[in-house]
Every structure is written in structure tokens, then in C-alpha cells.
Amino acid sequence: MKKLLETAARVSDQAEVYSIRTDSSALEMRNGTSTDLSASIQSGYAIRLLKDGRIGTAYTKNLIDREELVENALDSLKGNVKAGFSFPAPANIPSPMVPDDSIALMGFHDLHTLSERVLDHLKGKIEGQIDVRSGRGIIDLSIVNTSGLDVSSKTSFMYTFTSLLFPNTETAVHKIFMSRKTADFPKGELDNLVNMYNAGLPEVEIPTGKMKVMFMPDAMYTLIWRLSTAASGKSFYNKISPLQNKRGEQVVSEKFTLYGDPIDPDDVSQTFFDDEGVPTRKHMIIDRGIFKDLILNLDYAEKLNKKPAGNGFRGGMWGGETITLLPAPLLQCSRIAPGDASLEEMIASIDRGVIILGVLGAHSGNILNGDFSVGLNPGFYVENGEIRGRVKDGMVAGNVYEILKNIEHVENTLHDSTTGGKYPAILIDNVSVAAKD
């Protein structure tokens, strides 16, 4: 990396080199039979050059010729993309947690054992198909720049993803368990999943109208996506955010708090610096309903004359290989603060409504404006505090700023979600629900 940085520095005003290496493997089982094995080791280098107020970028997955990579970055300067920011100098960044050796030593036999333990616990408890996927990964990341920054981290994680499919369908209830060290899927969580599955076995039709709606953790990204897009420095710079000029104002219910916490020691994605080398921190976006702060990377912090917030990450809702992406303002390790109600209490309080366990079409509607219209996949119908069954066909629609003013309860527990954040369930009143014709 140092030689690549030296090569880039000779032809630019400032330069940055980013490298990442991922080592991952996974095993899938269906009803006790292994259906797929996968293993990969991927690495890559990305450089960014600042020259004459412009930025040039290039990446490679196989660094053979340093000069060629730098030339590609120089060629990209012809795009005349302006860059008023500078690469950060070294900062006081804590030492990262040491990866757990047990994950580095995990093989397919270990993954198979983790999945089998889930299957053994669930045996005879449900009618339908059981899919289990267990995996592990190790990520090595380094960033150096001409301002003297030289940071690196090595993280490890494992996960087990369990899906219980309803008979003769591809619709399922599912749960993910993630850990920094080798561990079994908690049996209590599996039992809760079985109870939810059995409650949803009957297929029911629902009425159309306004009713209570409970967003479960795996459906929460429908709301988070819209809120984080509006709080992005990019939306503010382009003056298209519905949160424009509303810092310090109440924008949703006081029961709702949204923040990012990349330094959380319990998060498998914990990091003390973002993908630009800026220190991360617990970052409050909405605090008890009040809009507090923007999501900023180096570029948009400079454009808005604000300090970078450690939100410059190579990623996004649409995924993609990390090395191919550029740092953007992203809310990493997102959280919704827990409330004071149990899930059972929340369900018991519903006179008529639906529970959204998963959605189809989260991209539908005007995301920036906060509008959404999603299919239930699955959704459960609740009447007089009891789950009556799985919704045959249904949709939920609304505007995130309007519905989040009507929060009744927030669950007292945070759960890992399949989209990467940790969220409680949220019960909201007066939401539009429609049965499909």
C-alpha cells in the first residue's frame, strides 16, 4: 500500500489508498440436507486522487501494475468532479477489538454442526420446510493517505439464519443470529420463531381501512431507508430534503429515537473509523422525535461547511462489492432506541391490525419524500389481541413522517435484523392497510 501511495502522491496534490480483504464461507441446509457450500477470498485496492480541486478514482481486484492503476485514476479526473475536501490527518482512534480465533478456525464441519443443532431443536415442532444457513467471515481493512493517516482493522463474525416456510409456499418467518465468536442460535429465540410460525399457519383475508400496524425488525428498513435518505448530507446540499431547516424541531413522535452506533462492542460491524479514516461515534439523528443531525461524509461535510461525522462508508441499500463503491453518507450500525413494552403486551393491545414481518417493494414510492407502499411478506392479522392468521394478500401504505407521529408502543428489546441494524418492534395506529383484489 505504501508504494502505491507514493506512486499516487507523485502525480497528485493528495492521495488515499484503501484496501480490503474478505474471507468468507457458508453452508445451506434444507430439512437436514446440505444444499449449497460456498467459500471465497476477495481482495482489492481503491485509490482516490485530489488534484486542482478535482477528484479521480480507480480500483482493482488484482494489483499487478501500480502505475496503471494510478493512470486510471488520473484519467478519471477528466470527468471534472469537484472536490473541496482534504483527506483527514491521523486522529486518536482506539485499537480495534481482536478477532476471535474460533471464527478463523471454523470449517464446513463446524458450520454444519451449527445448522444441525438448530434443526435438532426444531424437529417435530413445525409442519413446513426448514432452511438454515450458517456462515462466517473475516474482514481486513486498511487506509493510508498523504496526510499521514495509517489505520487498519480486522473483524470477524459468524451468523446463523433460520427460515420456517409455510406449507406449499415460499413465504417464511425468519430470524438471524450474529456473533463475534462461535455460538449457537439461542433456543429461546428459536422457540419464539416457532410460536410466530404456528400463529401464522391459517391463511386469512383482511379488511381494507385504517388500523394498527406493527413493524417488526426485518420490516423496519422500509422506514429507516426514507429517514436516512432525508437526513443525508447529499439531500441537504441539493436542498431536496423534507427535513430541510428542521434541525431542532419535533418531526415524529417523542417515542422514536434513531441513531447510528458503529462503536457498539456488541455489533459485528463495530468500527472506530469510517471508510475515509474519520473517527466514528454514536451519532444521534432523531432524538425522542426531534431531528438532531445530518449524515455526512468528507465531501458533503465540506460542501455544507460542517464537520465530518464519520459516516463515509462504501456501501448502500443496493449492495455491491465494497471495493467498487465510493464513500457516501451512510448511517452505519443503525439503531432505534427500545421502549418499555413487551412484544406480547403490544400484540394484546391491538384491537384490529396487522403485524409486518417482511415486505415486498420497499423501493416503491417517493423514498426522499417518505412515501411507501409495500406488500406484506408475510403479514399477520390481529383481532382483539390475538393473531388470527397469515394475511393472504395485503399492502400497507403511508408516509413515514405522518405514521411515526402515531406511535403507540415501542418494544423493550433490540433484535438483529437481516438488513444490518438492531431494532425493536414498533406499533403504530391509523395506518392504511389494503387487501389485494
Task: Please name the residues in contact with 35: beta carbons below 8 A apart, sequence gap of 6 or more.
Answer: 28, 29
Other CB atoms within 10 A of residue 18 CB: 24
Beta-bridged to residue 110, according to DSSP, are none
* Exposed/middle/buried for residue 260 (C-beta within 10 Å: 0-12, 13-18, 19+): buried
On whether the CB atoms of residues 325 and 411 are closer than 8 A, the answer is no
How much helix, strand and coil, in percent to the nearest 5, is found in the chain?
Answer: 20, 40, 40
CATH placement of domain 2-197 = 3.30.2290.10
Lookup: cell for 292: 438532531
At 158, which helix (H) or strand (E)?
Answer: strand 150-165
Task: Please name the residues in contact with 343: beta carbons below 8 A apart, sequence gap of 6 or more.
Answer: 411, 413, 425
Residues of the chain with CATH 3.30.2290.10: 2-197
10-residue stretch averages of pLDDT, the chain, 437 residues long: 94 97 96 93 96 96 91 95 95 82 92 96 91 96 97 94 93 94 95 96 94 97 96 97 97 98 92 96 97 97 95 79 93 96 97 96 90 95 97 94 98 93 97 87
Q: What is the pLDDT of residue 318?
A: 61
Rounded CA-CA distance 311/316 in Å is 12
Rounded CA-CA distance 415/418 in Å is 10
Q: Write phi, then psi, for 148 (nearest 5 degrees).
A: 100, 0
Q: Cα 61 to the chain's mean position, in Å?
A: 24
Rounded CA-CA distance 248/292 in Å is 6
Q: What is the pLDDT of residue 312?
A: 97
Q: What is the pTM of this model?
A: 0.94
Q: What is the pLDDT of residue 317?
A: 63
On whether the CB atoms of residues 255 and 424 are closer than 8 A, the answer is no
Tell which residue, 278, 285, 224, has the closest CA to residue 257: 285
- R_g of the chain computed on alpha carbons: 23
Q: What is the pLDDT of residue 99?
A: 79
Q: What is the pLDDT of residue 276?
A: 97
